[in-house]
């Protein structure tokens, strides 16, 4: 199935799979049920070196390999998508710092992020500004050698447990998206508070609200230049979308594998339900779609690793894979009949988690907008 992976990548895949089987799957139900972020698992992922891909060697990374990220994100998502979503966010932060941060910020934060010693979150969305980030109302005002930050950010992955946040605020409120700038905010700064959110899916990724009340950060905490916030957000989201697509692929694959196994075992009318054409066609169609999703992701990942522009391909991969993940979860529930509808099977969680991926990091409608913009540019 993964013929084109190198031996090293196959080894990575088998290491991640065994970690998921031993450590993630046994606790996934409870973490989801209790909305608990698995800090220990997150740290172990850092210790195992799975935050090193795409990070320069100078800061403790291994250099570019987005295909490796696909392997890590998708395999972990088979056990618990929430955990994978937090990894994606950790990578978003490292990408932003790496591309736009000063040497000071890179040296201060990337080595600890790579080791998973600190947890990062990305805070863009506000109550009145989601798809339209130009509508952000949170502000950053220069005062001597500091910025004073105020605002409220919604639905932030890893928000309840993060040590640092990349926060997007207006340095020039008259300018829409062009007035946005990005700042590093530390959790323990005065005026920072977080509140958990009770979501329907991705419940173990620490979704939270971040409130900034007259938070003072040094000028050095500005990432890039004033006014570059939208550019930073959009370029790192291209990368993040490959991650979200990979997580969706993992969920789809897990749902599909469960459905196939069950269809072989379950008997009705004295025969395995896998013998019924109605189910066979359903699963055959799904198998094609999951393969197609994988190829879209790998295409986007390969383009990124070759240094090519991959905005359109990442949006296509995210749009399609999240749709396939929702369909796979629904199909699996249908194949399992009433068993699929009960909470003790992970199928209903797959559905709740997959649905979140059609919204996070740009809704499906916004992905179509991005794709169309690239087609007509």
124 near ligand FAD, rule: CB under 6 A = yes
* CB nearer ligand FAD, residue 260 or residue 359: 359
333 near ligand FAD, rule: CB under 6 A = no
Pick the piece of the chain touching ligand FAD (CB under 6 A) from 155-163, 173-181, 310-318, 327-335: 155-163
131 near ligand FAD, rule: CB under 6 A = yes
Q: What does the alpha-carbon distance between residue 215 and residue 149 come to, in Å, rounded to a whole number?
A: 5
Q: Check: CB of residue 186 under 8 Å from CB of residue 216.
A: no
Q: What does the alpha-carbon distance between residue 259 and residue 252 come to, in Å, rounded to a whole number?
A: 11
Give the bridge partners for 340, in sequence order. none
* CB nearer ligand FAD, residue 18 or residue 131: 131
Count the site residues for ligand FAD by CB under 6 A: 20
Q: What does the alpha-carbon distance between residue 151 and residue 341 come to, in Å, rounded to a whole number?
A: 40
Query: In the window 234-253, what residues touch ligand FAD (CB under 6 A)?
Result: none
Pick the piece of the chain touching ligand FAD (CB under 6 A) from 99-107, 120-128, 313-321, 323-331: 120-128
Pick the piece of the chain touching ligand FAD (CB under 6 A) from 7-15, 136-144, 154-162, 338-346: 154-162
Q: How many CA atoms lie within 13 A of 16 on its CB side?
A: 28
193: helix, strand or coil: strand
Q: Could you identify the residue written with the tokens 């050095």?
A: 220
202 near ligand FAD, rule: CB under 6 A = yes
**DSSP string covering 89-139:** HHHHHHHHHHHH--HHHHHHHHHHHHTTSS-EEEE--BTTBSS-GGG---E
Q: Could you identify the residue written with the tokens 């190829």?
A: 295
Cβ atoms < 10 Å from Cβ of 127: 12
The correct pick among 122, 147, 256, 262 for binding ligand FAD (CB under 6 A) is 122
Q: What does the alpha-carbon distance between residue 246 and residue 262 come to, in Å, rounded to a whole number?
A: 24
Q: Check: CB of residue 171 under 8 Å from CB of residue 179.
A: yes
* CB nearer ligand FAD, residue 155 or residue 335: 155
Q: What is the DSSP letter of 63?
A: B
Pick the piece of the chain touching ligand FAD (CB under 6 A) from 1-9, 13-21, 251-259, 357-365: 357-365
Beta strands in the chain, from DSSP E residues, in sequence order: 120-123, 139-143, 146-156, 164-170, 180-186, 192-196, 208-218, 222-223, 267-268, 271-272
Q: How far apart are the first and last CA of the chain?
A: 36
49 near ligand FAD, rule: CB under 6 A = no
Active site residue ranges: 361
The correct pick among 49, 130, 176, 227 for binding ligand FAD (CB under 6 A) is 130
The residue sitting closest to ligand FAD, measured at its beta carbon, is 130
Shortest spacing between CB 153 and ligand FAD, in angstroms: 6
Pick the piece of the chain touching ligand FAD (CB under 6 A) from 17-25, 118-126, 285-293, 317-325: 118-126
Query: In the window 75-94, what residues touch ligand FAD (CB under 6 A)?
Result: 89
156 near ligand FAD, rule: CB under 6 A = yes
The correct pick among 9, 112, 363, 374 for binding ligand FAD (CB under 6 A) is 363
* CB nearer ligand FAD, residue 363 or residue 374: 363
Q: Check: CB of residue 338 under 8 Å from CB of residue 355.
A: no
* CB nearer ligand FAD, residue 296 or residue 370: 370
* CB nearer ligand FAD, residue 238 or residue 361: 361
The correct pick among 105, 157, 255, 301 for binding ligand FAD (CB under 6 A) is 157
155 near ligand FAD, rule: CB under 6 A = yes
Cβ atoms < 10 Å from Cβ of 26: 11
Distances (CA, A) of 298 to 4, 91, 293, 316: 10, 18, 9, 11
Pick the piece of the chain touching ligand FAD (CB under 6 A) from 96-104, 169-177, 327-335, 355-363: 355-363
Shortest spacing between CB 129 and ligand FAD, in angstroms: 7
Where on the chain is the footprint of ligand FAD (CB under 6 A)? Answer: 89, 122-125, 130-131, 155-157, 202, 356, 359-363, 365-366, 369
């Amino acid at each position: 199935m993964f013929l084109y992976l190198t031996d090293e990548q196959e080894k990575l895949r088998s290491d991640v799979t065994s970690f998921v089987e031993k450590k993630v799957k046994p606790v996934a139900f409870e973490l989801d049920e209790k909305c608990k972020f698995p800090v220990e698992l997150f740290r172990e992922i850092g210790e195992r070196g799975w935050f090193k891909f795409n990070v320069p060697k100078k800061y403790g990374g291994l250099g570019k390999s987005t295909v490796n990220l696909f392997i890590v994100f998708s395999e972990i998502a088979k056990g618990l998508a929430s955990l994978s979503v937090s990894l994606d966010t950790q990578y978003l932060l490292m990408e932003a710092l790496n591309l736009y941060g000063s040497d000071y910020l890179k040296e201060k934060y990337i080595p600890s992020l790579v080791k998973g010693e600190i947890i990062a979150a990305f805070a863009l969305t506000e109550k009145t500004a989601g798809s339209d980030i130009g509508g952000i109302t949170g502000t950053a005002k220069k005062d001597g050698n500091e910025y004073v930050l105020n605002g409220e950010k919604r639905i932030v992955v890893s928000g309840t447990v993060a040590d640092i946040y990349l926060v997007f605020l207006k340095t020039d409120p008259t300018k829409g998206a062009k007035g946005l700038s990005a700042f590093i905010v530390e959790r323990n700064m005065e005026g920072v508070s977080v509140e958990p959110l009770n979501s329907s899916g991705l419940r173990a990724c620490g979704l939270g609200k971040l409130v900034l009340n007259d938070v003072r950060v040094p000028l050095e905490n500005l990432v890039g230049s004033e006014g570059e916030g939208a550019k930073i957000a959009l370029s790192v989201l291209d990368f993040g979308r490959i991650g979200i697509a990979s997580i969706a692929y993992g969920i789809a694959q897990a749902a599909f594998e469960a459905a196939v196994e069950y269809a072989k075992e379950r008997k009705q009318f004295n025969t395995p339900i896998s013998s019924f054409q109605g189910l066979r066609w359903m699963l055959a169609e799904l198998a094609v779609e999951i393969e197609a999703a994988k190829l879209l992701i790998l295409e986007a990942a390969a383009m990124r690793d070759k240094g090519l522009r991959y905005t359109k391909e990442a949006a296509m991969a995210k749009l399609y894979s999240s749709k396939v993940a929702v369909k796979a979860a629904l199909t699996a529930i249908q194949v399992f009949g009433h068993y699929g509808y009960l909470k003790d099977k992970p199928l209903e969680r797959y559905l709740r988690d997959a649905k979140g991926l059609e919204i996070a990091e740009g809704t499906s409608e916004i992905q179509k907008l991005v794709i169309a913009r690239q087609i007509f540019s």
